A and B are shown apart, each in its own frame.
Chain A
Amino acid sequence: MNLNLTLIGQAIAFAFFVWFCMRFVWPPVMQALQERQKKIADGLDAASRASRDLELAEEQANETLRESKEQAAEILEQAHKRSNQMIDEAREQARQEGERMITQAKSEIEQEINRAKDELRSQVSRLAVVAAERILESAIDEKQHGKLVDKLAEEL
């Protein structure tokens, strides 16, 4: 219980330990703690940023999907339109072709009729001459009556 040099010895030891702690223990531990705190804060930050990014990406993906759907619908519509147009065009063409063919056939028929009429006319005139010869039993001078016959043939 007597006060003695131990007191000073203890004070010196105390001072030494405090100095040691201040110099070699406290700073590294504190630094580690602070660095970890920062790391955790950064990690949380990154996580929230990542979730925000994800949200953004989802939104973008949805947007892209919507756009492409729209595009597809547009393309489909265009294709429909085009096919309708093509069908119309084909129909028109076919109609024109048909008309043309009909016209051509009609003119051909006309020509045929005219030619047949001419033939018929000449044959009838010849037949009339032959008939007249038979009737008259006399030879009619073809040259003499040719004009008459032609006139007849004209009238047919």
Chain B
Amino acid sequence: MAGNNPTPTEYIQHHLQNLTFGNHPEHGWSIAHSAEEATEMGFWAIHLDTLGWSIGLGLMFMLLFRKVAQSATTGIPGGVQNFVELMVEFVDNSVKDTFHGKSKLIAPLSLTIFCWVFLMNLMDLVPVDVLPTLAQKIGAMFGADPAHVYFKVVPTTDVNATLGMSLSVFALIIFYTIREKGVSGFIGELTLHPFNSPNKLVQALFVPVNFVLETVTLIAKPISLGLRLFGNLYAGELIFILIAMIGLWQLPLHFTWAVFHILVITLQAFIFMMLTIVYLAMAVEKH
């Protein structure tokens, strides 16, 4: 849909490019007109579509839940309240099953992760060309070249979004570890496992080995957490794009893949939530 009759490669690339706003070395603060410009902007750029959709969906979730929370009755719950209570109880049970420490943060954190990630994933089910085309039309109204209006609807197909969340979780893991076990406990966890010895000298030799191993383990947590979500959704989105290129026959295929994807997006949201709880439970529990 980019420009006039794009080649398949152009079409796919166009779909996988975020709407980037940043500080270009030559053009200053502006919206990137191509993937190259976006790359040249380096770190000081933001993806307007990712942030816009994720914050928009997050606000939607917050407003809906807040509205229900405000009018929550202890009597017979209505339709929306039923749904919200279902979600809350489901998350609460998941947290109680896994996380045995005391924390006011974990349960709301898990609820937010599950609902927010689910909503962001859900955008995957909107046919791939609908919103980008709409964005191009709106862009054209403001005088932009439609070929250069990039629009990626699903925030979780942006590695920035998933890593942004998983790194926040990582910060919480470190925070909880230090809060429960102290700085020495945290360092001890990094250096005294998995190899230890009663002999002080041998132990001293083990420390660097342990440190390397445990650091890798620690770093692997947020990276795998973020990349798992990103990879699943990115692959799913890519297949939607591929299906969208085959003409009329895309309809049954698209339908089939979308039905399958309902499972994937729910599962990925659940996995992200569960792993967050598990990691935080590991951080809090004593060995």
Contacts and interface: CB of A to CB of B under 8 A. Distances in A.
Interface string A2-40: 111111111101110110111011111111110110010
Contact of B164 (A9, A27, A35, A36): A9
A139 interface: no
A135 interface: no
Contacts of B72: 28-29, 31-32
Interface string B47-88: 100110011001001100110111011110100000011001
Given A28-B72, A39-B74, A17 B47 contact: no
B55 to A, nearest CB: 5
A136 interface: no
Contacts of A26: 69, 88, 107-108, 111
B160 A29 contact: no
Contact of A17 (B43, B75, B112): B112
B174 interface: no
Given A6-B47, A25-B108, A25-B111, A11 B168 contact: yes
B212 interface: no
Contacts of A25: 62, 65-66, 69, 108, 111
A4 B41 contact: yes
Given A9-B46, A22-B109, A14 B164 contact: yes
A147 to B, nearest CB: 136
A10 B50 contact: yes
Contacts of B55: 13
Nearest to A19: B108
A17 B163 contact: no
A26 B43 CA distance: 35
A24 B46 contact: no
Contacts of B88: 26, 29-30, 33
Given A14-B168, A17-B112, A20-B62, A5 B89 contact: no
B69 A6 contact: no
B163 A3 contact: yes
Contact of B160 (A10, A22, A30): A10
B171 to A, nearest CB: 8
Given A4-B47, A22-B104, A29-B85, A13 B58 contact: yes
B112 A21 contact: yes
B116 interface: yes
Contacts of A36: 74-75, 77
A18 B105 contact: yes
A108 B41 CA distance: 159
Given A5-B45, A18-B105, A22-B104, A10 B62 contact: no
Contacts of A14: 112, 116, 164-165, 168
B161 A6 contact: yes
A29 B69 contact: yes
Given A3-B43, A10-B54, A24-B69, A18 B112 contact: yes
A30 B65 CA distance: 12
Contacts of A8: 164
Contacts of B77: 36
A14 B54 CA distance: 9
Contacts of A10: 50-51, 54, 155, 160-161, 164-165
Given A17-B58, A18-B108, A4 B44 contact: yes
B43 A5 contact: yes
A35 B74 contact: yes
Contact of A11 (B109, B112, B165): B165
Nearest to A39: B74
B159 interface: yes
Top 8 A-B pairs, shortest CB-CB distance: A10-B164, A6-B160, A32-B72, A22-B108, A28-B69, A26-B108, A35-B74, A21-B108
Given A17-B112, A22-B109, 4 more contacts: A5-B43, A5-B45, A14-B168, A29-B85
12 contacts: A2-B39, A2-B42, A9-B46, A18-B109, A21-B109, A26-B88, A26-B108, A26-B111, A27-B69, A29-B72, A29-B84, A30-B88
